[in-house]
Amino acid sequence: MSDLTPITREEALLDGQDLEPITRKEQFIKRIYDKTQEVPTPITREEWFLNKAGEGGSEVTVEQLNATENGTYSEPGKAYSPVIVEVPEPTLISKSITANGTYSASADNADGYSSVTVAVEGFKKKSIANTPTDIASFDDGTANPMPSLEISIEPVQSGSGDPSPSNMRPISGWSEADVTRCGVNLWDEEWEVGGYSETTGQKDSANDVIRCKNYIPVTPNTSYYCSYGNADKVCEVFYYDANKNYINFQVTIDGVVTTPNNCKYMTFRCRISYGTTYNNDISINYPSTDTSYHAYQGSTTSIPFHDNSDNPITVYGGTLNVTSGELRVDRANVVINENSNIGLWSTPQSPWVGFYYIPDPYMLIERTTDIKSNYLKGVDGTNGWYIYGVNGVLCVVFDEDVIGGRTLNDIKGFLATHPLQAVYPLATPQTYQITPTQVTTLLGQNNIFADCGQVLEGEYFVTL
């Protein structure tokens, strides 16, 4: 008798026994079972794609694809690894236009324009300054916008004399630039009752004369003609330096005055004989050969400074391309006090003591003495109070007797009562884009200047 355990027909079928005939249902069950016993060989994603590309029995070639534009790329039997997109350099050209209209770069066989200038028909461009100047002057202007104008932005140090702890001279920057274009007359014809002191150059409380209300920008060592309405042609002119410190005064007799070699501004007061009402008959003329009265034809535009996120900024040095709006900042300002991150500098020997400060986030140009300070000189290698930059660090040396010791705490104690301001050059200037400004010249004589610095260069249109 057999010891085999009875099994069902389904079990025998799954065990692979040949039990024919079987039903369609039994065939389907067996096929499912057989599939569950297969173990597929794992392949990578790349291998799968290669298999798909090679279906049909052909060889598969893997090669690099260089694509230059959007599109569909395929070729039988090929797979691409890697795919490199090559962006061709665009062809840019300069474009000069003579009128408003639609201009197509493709029509000029180019991809775009690197610059576009307006060539005013019947006129040509002319440069206004070969070297920086306080006031750019020309006498052949036309009533057209200037193609270009660039000005400097320079920090202003208050007071006079050498800066020192006993002669603190704070430094200020600029949050905006005022650009002025006027004709022959430099005076804005703003006036008020009162005079100027011959001793101090400051306004006084005289009530029997009139004076100019605002400072008049001028150039050192330059002659001007004071076209004065009263018959005696006498007035007093007062001179000031770049920081508006008083220099001296001059009584005009024949109308011609010449500014001192450090003069940047002037004011004037009339004689008592003129009266206390302005009669629209006074002008400060440049060139001095023009002796007639000219009404003021000034136009001043204020240009605020901001970064590329439209946040207002104060600029302590740089340049502004007025017509393009490119603001280039090449100096930064720092105030160092007892809470600043400073370290003791071991190089100076008694009786000198020093410290170093690393500006953040900007770095100095390597080893420069071109640093302005509120009470130290930017001098390298001289005894006494001095400050200079080396390897991106501000190095400062003091007189040990003034500090009262040689330790870091001694220095911090001194900085607590004498915060040190330094305006230093940037190793990498910062560039910002602000709103371009249009400056339109007058027919004939033009005088152009900016309150924040000098005119560096520019162009204007003259008649052909």
What tens digit of pLDDT does each residue of 113-155 get? Answer: 776 666 666 778 899 877 899 999 999 999 999 999 999 999 9
Quote the pLDDT of residue 349.
84
204-243 residue pLDDT tens = 999 999 999 999 999 999 999 998 876 556 789 999 999 9
Please name the helix (run of DSSP H) or strand (run of DSSP E) that holds residue 82, with its range, or none: strand 78-85
Same-domain check for residues 61 and 78: yes
Question: Which of 279, 296, 313 represents a domain boundary (last residue)?
Answer: 296
Same-domain check for residues 196 and 292: yes
Quote the pLDDT of residue 321.
97
Asked if the structure places residue 292 within a domain, the reply is: yes
**Tens of pLDDT along the chain (464 residues)?**
445 566 666 666 566 555 556 666 666 666 766 666 666 677 776 676 666 655 555 566 667 666 666 667 777 667 666 666 666 677 777 676 655 567 777 777 777 777 666 666 677 889 987 789 999 999 999 999 999 999 999 999 998 888 888 899 999 999 999 999 999 999 999 999 999 999 999 999 999 999 999 999 999 999 999 988 765 567 899 999 999 999 999 998 778 999 999 999 999 999 888 889 999 999 999 999 999 999 999 999 999 999 999 999 999 999 999 999 999 999 999 999 999 999 998 888 888 899 999 887 667 877 888 899 999 887 655 556 788 888 888 989 888 888 888 899 999 999 999 999 999 999 889 999 999 999 999 999 999 999 999 999 999 999 87
Same-domain check for residues 388 and 288: no
Contacts with 273 (C-beta within 8 Å, 6 or more apart), sequence order: 230, 232, 234
pTM (predicted TM-score): 0.73
| Residue 209 burial (C-beta neighbours within 10 Å; 0-12, 13-18, 19+) | buried
How far apart (Å, rounded) are the C-alpha atoms in residues 17 and 420? 101
Quote the pLDDT of residue 240.
98
Quote the pLDDT of residue 338.
96
Phi/psi for 215 (5° steps) reads -65, 145
Question: Which of 31, 55, 85 represents a domain boundary (last residue)?
Answer: 85
Asked if the structure places residue 71 within a domain, the reply is: yes
Cα 59 to chain centroid, rounded: 60
Asked if the structure places residue 380 within a domain, the reply is: yes
Same-domain check for residues 68 and 35: no
Q: What is the number of structural domains in the chain?
A: 4
Same-domain check for residues 282 and 190: yes
Quote the pLDDT of residue 232.
58
Asked if the structure places residue 166 within a domain, the reply is: no
Same-domain check for residues 263 and 350: no
The one-character DSSP state at 202 is -
Same-domain check for residues 292 and 192: yes
For residue 409, give its domain range: 330-432
Same-domain check for residues 278 and 197: yes
Same-domain check for residues 414 and 387: yes
How far apart (Å, rounded) are the C-alpha atoms in residues 391 and 357? 11
Same-domain check for residues 340 and 426: yes
How far apart (Å, rounded) are the C-alpha atoms in residues 342 and 419? 13
How far apart (Å, rounded) are the C-alpha atoms in residues 49 and 54? 9
Asked if the structure places residue 348 within a domain, the reply is: yes
Asked if the structure places residue 444 within a domain, the reply is: no
Quote the pLDDT of residue 1.
46
Same-domain check for residues 35 and 50: no
The one-character DSSP state at 288 is T
Q: Are strands 420-433 and 372-373 parallel, antiparallel or unpaired?
A: antiparallel
Same-domain check for residues 244 and 336: no
Asked if the structure places residue 153 within a domain, the reply is: no
Asked if the structure places residue 221 within a domain, the reply is: yes
The one-character DSSP state at 440 is B
Quote the pLDDT of residue 96.
64
Quote the pLDDT of residue 388.
85
